[in-house]
Amino acid sequence: MLQAGARQSAVARELNVHRSVIHRLWNHYQRDQNASRRRGSVLRRISTTADDRYLLQCSRRRRTLTASQLSAAAGKPISRQTVSRRLHEGGLFARRPVVCVPLSPAYVRARLGP
Protein backbone atom coordinates (compact mmCIF):
# COMPACT_ATOMS: atom_id res chain seq x y z
CA MET A 1 0.00 0.00 0.00
CA LEU A 2 2.86 2.33 0.84
CA GLN A 3 4.64 1.45 -2.40
CA ALA A 4 1.44 2.38 -4.23
CA GLY A 5 1.62 5.85 -2.70
CA ALA A 6 -0.77 5.59 0.26
CA ARG A 7 -0.02 7.62 3.37
CA GLN A 8 1.18 5.89 6.53
CA SER A 9 -1.77 7.16 8.55
CA ALA A 10 -4.23 5.80 5.97
CA VAL A 11 -2.53 2.40 5.98
CA ALA A 12 -2.55 2.37 9.79
CA ARG A 13 -6.29 3.13 9.83
CA GLU A 14 -6.94 0.43 7.24
CA LEU A 15 -4.99 -2.20 9.21
CA ASN A 16 -6.25 -0.94 12.57
CA VAL A 17 -2.78 -0.44 14.06
CA HIS A 18 -0.93 2.59 15.36
CA ARG A 19 0.86 4.79 12.83
CA SER A 20 4.20 4.20 14.57
CA VAL A 21 3.94 0.48 13.75
CA ILE A 22 3.60 1.25 10.04
CA HIS A 23 6.42 3.79 10.27
CA ARG A 24 8.77 1.30 11.96
CA LEU A 25 7.95 -1.50 9.51
CA TRP A 26 8.36 0.80 6.51
CA ASN A 27 11.77 1.97 7.74
CA HIS A 28 12.79 -1.63 8.36
CA TYR A 29 11.66 -2.62 4.88
CA GLN A 30 13.52 0.26 3.22
CA ARG A 31 16.69 -0.56 5.13
CA ASP A 32 16.72 -4.38 4.76
CA GLN A 33 14.28 -5.02 1.90
CA ASN A 34 12.48 -7.30 4.32
CA ALA A 35 9.67 -6.58 6.78
CA SER A 36 9.58 -9.94 8.54
CA ARG A 37 9.76 -10.11 12.29
CA ARG A 38 13.14 -10.13 13.95
CA ARG A 39 14.31 -13.26 15.65
CA GLY A 40 13.70 -13.05 19.37
CA SER A 41 16.33 -13.32 22.03
CA VAL A 42 15.03 -16.59 23.43
CA LEU A 43 17.56 -18.35 25.61
CA ARG A 44 18.26 -21.88 24.44
CA ARG A 45 18.68 -24.70 26.90
CA ILE A 46 22.24 -25.95 27.04
CA SER A 47 21.27 -29.39 28.28
CA THR A 48 18.62 -31.65 26.82
CA THR A 49 16.19 -33.67 28.92
CA ALA A 50 18.36 -36.73 28.32
CA ASP A 51 21.37 -34.81 29.65
CA ASP A 52 19.35 -33.80 32.70
CA ARG A 53 18.37 -37.42 33.38
CA TYR A 54 22.00 -38.48 33.00
CA LEU A 55 23.14 -35.83 35.49
CA LEU A 56 20.56 -36.99 38.01
CA GLN A 57 21.53 -40.63 37.48
CA CYS A 58 25.25 -39.90 37.92
CA SER A 59 24.66 -37.81 41.01
CA ARG A 60 22.56 -40.55 42.62
CA ARG A 61 25.17 -43.20 41.86
CA ARG A 62 28.13 -41.20 43.11
CA ARG A 63 26.88 -38.85 45.80
CA THR A 64 30.33 -37.43 46.55
CA LEU A 65 30.62 -35.70 43.15
CA THR A 66 30.23 -31.94 43.23
CA ALA A 67 28.36 -29.97 40.60
CA SER A 68 31.57 -28.96 38.83
CA GLN A 69 32.72 -32.59 38.72
CA LEU A 70 29.33 -33.61 37.32
CA SER A 71 29.59 -30.97 34.60
CA ALA A 72 32.91 -32.50 33.55
CA ALA A 73 31.35 -35.98 33.56
CA ALA A 74 28.49 -34.83 31.34
CA GLY A 75 30.79 -34.63 28.33
CA LYS A 76 29.30 -31.27 27.32
CA PRO A 77 30.33 -27.77 28.36
CA ILE A 78 27.66 -27.25 31.03
CA SER A 79 28.32 -24.67 33.73
CA ARG A 80 28.35 -25.54 37.42
CA GLN A 81 25.35 -23.29 38.00
CA THR A 82 23.33 -25.05 35.29
CA VAL A 83 24.16 -28.45 36.78
CA SER A 84 23.09 -27.23 40.23
CA ARG A 85 19.86 -25.88 38.75
CA ARG A 86 19.10 -29.17 36.97
CA LEU A 87 19.79 -31.16 40.14
CA HIS A 88 17.52 -28.83 42.06
CA GLU A 89 14.76 -29.39 39.48
CA GLY A 90 15.25 -33.14 39.98
CA GLY A 91 14.90 -32.93 43.75
CA LEU A 92 18.60 -33.03 44.69
CA PHE A 93 19.99 -30.16 46.72
CA ALA A 94 23.19 -28.64 48.13
CA ARG A 95 26.68 -28.60 46.63
CA ARG A 96 26.88 -32.35 46.92
CA PRO A 97 23.78 -33.94 45.45
CA VAL A 98 21.81 -35.38 48.34
CA VAL A 99 18.08 -35.64 48.81
CA CYS A 100 16.93 -32.81 51.03
CA VAL A 101 14.73 -34.03 53.90
CA PRO A 102 12.90 -31.18 55.62
CA LEU A 103 13.35 -31.15 59.39
CA SER A 104 10.30 -31.51 61.57
CA PRO A 105 9.53 -28.59 63.92
CA ALA A 106 10.19 -30.82 66.95
CA TYR A 107 13.60 -31.78 65.62
CA VAL A 108 14.47 -28.15 64.93
CA ARG A 109 13.53 -27.22 68.53
CA ALA A 110 15.64 -30.12 69.84
CA ARG A 111 18.64 -28.96 67.81
CA LEU A 112 18.34 -25.38 69.03
CA GLY A 113 18.76 -26.59 72.61
CA PRO A 114 17.16 -25.59 75.90
Please state the rounded mean pLDDT for residues 36-65. Answer: 81
Q: Which residue has the higher pLDDT, 79 or 41?
A: 79
Does residue 67 form part of some domain? Answer: yes
CA dist 45 and 61 (Å) reads: 25
**Predicted structure pTM score:** 0.48
Domain match, 28 and 54 both: no
Does residue 16 form part of some domain? Answer: yes
Note the pLDDT tens digit of each residue in 57-72. Answer: 998 888 888 888 888 8
Note the pLDDT tens digit of each residue in 19-28. Answer: 898 898 888 8
Q: Find the domain containing 64 and state its range.
A: 49-90
Does residue 24 form part of some domain? Answer: yes
* HEC profile of 53-64: HHHHHHHHHCCC
Which pLDDT score is estimated for 70?
Answer: 86
What's the total number of domains in the chain? 2
